Amino acid sequence: MDPEKDPRIYLAVERTFLAWIRTGIALMGFGFVIARFGIFLHEISSVSATPAPHAHGFSMWVGTGIILSGVVVMAISGLQHFLTIRHLNQGVDITGKPSLSGMILAGSLALIGSTVAIYLIHLSMK
């Protein structure tokens, strides 16, 4: 059997694509939760005597950024899946290449996560 036409390879590529889709959906859901976190803080402060920190604007921007990163993940994963299938059909060796989109996503999310953590620490010290 020709290794380039092995159905297991195509199924593995399909599973990878679906994992990226799940990641994009999770990012969009998480971004929505973060975007609405400021509204939650405002509602909590309305029933308590303590004033709410002004996190609505920051959480809206960070949440929207994470939602957009989920959209970008979906778009890039679709393109990457299409190119991978095309390369497999052409017999191009695709092994040994790091996932540039995966590394960029990991770095971006680490930066966003660090920013949110620093902001939350800053809020707790007020």
Chain segment 45-71, per-residue pLDDT in tens: 677 766 655 556 777 888 888 899 899
Reply yes or no on whether the pLDDT at 4 is more than 70. Answer: no
Residues near 56 by Cβ (< 8 Å), separated by ≥ 6?
38, 39, 41, 42
Reply yes or no on whether the pLDDT at 94 is more than 90. Answer: no
Count of structural domains, the chain: 1
DSSP assignment of 91-121, as one string? Answer: T---TT---HHHHHHHHHHHHHHHHHHHHHH
Q: What is the pLDDT of residue 86?
A: 92
Q: What is the pLDDT of residue 2?
A: 59
Instruction: Name which of 68, 72, 66 is nearest 110 in CA terms.
Output: 66
Average pLDDT over residues 116-124: 79
**Domain of 47, in residue numbers:** 3-124
Q: What is the pTM of this model?
A: 0.70
DSSP, res 2: -
Q: What is the pLDDT of residue 21?
A: 93
Using N-to-C axis directions, what is the helix angle for 100-124 and 7-47, rounded to 10°?
10
Q: What is the pLDDT of residue 116?
A: 78
> 32, 2 in Cβ contact below 8 A?
no
* 4 CB-contact burial (10 Å; exposed 0-12 / middle 13-18 / buried 19+): middle
Reply yes or no on whether the pLDDT at 112 is more than 90. Answer: no
Whole-number Å distance between alpha carbons of 88 and 11: 12
